[in-house]
Structure 1
Amino acid sequence: MGDNKLIDSSRLKDHAYWEKVQQKSCSQSFSFLFDRYWETLYSTAFSYLKDREKSEEITHDIFLNLWQKRETLTIQSFSAYLRAAARYHVYKELKKRKASNIVYTDELTETEEVMTNQGEDRLIYQDAERYVDSSLQSLPARCQEIYFMSRKENLTNDEIANKLGISKRTVENQLTAALRHIRIQLKVISMLLLWWLIL
């Protein structure tokens, strides 16, 4: 009984914060939800992919999309929605890899139907993605180059290392730096968007 009360209280708190995000574009509420669920989303993605950089990338994408679609999303359970979003992105990644040796669980395949509306706001999402890409210009040129080769050209770390004549470890370190930078940008993007709306 006590555990159920705690769960209900947590859901109510999430719902209250999400209402502020939807109705007032409240950046503080968004930051609270970001901090609360970042590790959960990352862990969900990593449990399937076993790829740190890709798992961080998926987590970034989910929060960007969540902010951009805040006015149109109807979410009954915030934690359940985010888990479904993580599984959906994982499912897409596994399909892209065409990894025949990976067993897709019912949980993943069912998620594909739940999250079919992910592509509806592609133009809005691309605007946010361009903002993040623009912010990457403050990073060293090599770091930018490696990030875009990974993100835009879908090259593996080994392929990037071979193409640039550097070690795989260097590629991993540069991608980590880029993803850390993006994570910081996600913390401030909601505030920037709020100011743009006011102006």
Structure 2
Amino acid sequence: MRRTEHTDADLWRLVQQDDGPAFKCLFDRYWEKLYVYALNRLKSDTDAQDVVQDVLINLWSRRATVSIDTTLAAYLHAAVQYEVLAHIAKASKIAGRREELEKNVLPAFTSFLDLVQLKEMQAIVEAEVARLPEKMQQVYRLRQEKDLSVKEISRLLDVSEQTVRNQLSASYLKLRKHLKEAMLTVIFFQHL
């Protein structure tokens, strides 16, 4: 049987045994679909290629430890969706890219989520923010909801600017940890 006739599960088992040609077959099978998805979200050929390459390189490098509980197609799709989100987050921090992202990328990205899923995500975010310690939650809300600067928050709460920065950093870490899994769950269930 030629490798192109193997099922994804058969190919994945071979990949886990360090079979490079089996991985090449999976790569050829999914590259274009994943690339088109990333391109539709990121609106950049280079960024889309980078995202898909990162996902596939990561899959190859972690082949011995990755456990795929769904289909390979669903796993790869969710991995690319997550990497697109991570890419958008990184790019939004680069001066000049934020406006481009808000104008061209975010509307297209959120359009694939229906209204119910968007409300679910908002509810998850709000629940996670509510779980933060009181002072951390207060600093987070002043920054994110009231758009106050670190200096303004420092004055308002009568704490040092470094304390505000520490609270913000800690809140972002806590939220990122809890929201990553929730976001992947919402995205994954959209494609079942």
Q: Which TM-score applies when normalising by structure 2?
A: 0.49
Rg comparison, structure with higher value: 2
Where relative contact order (Cα < 8 A, 6+ residues apart) is larger, the structure is: 1
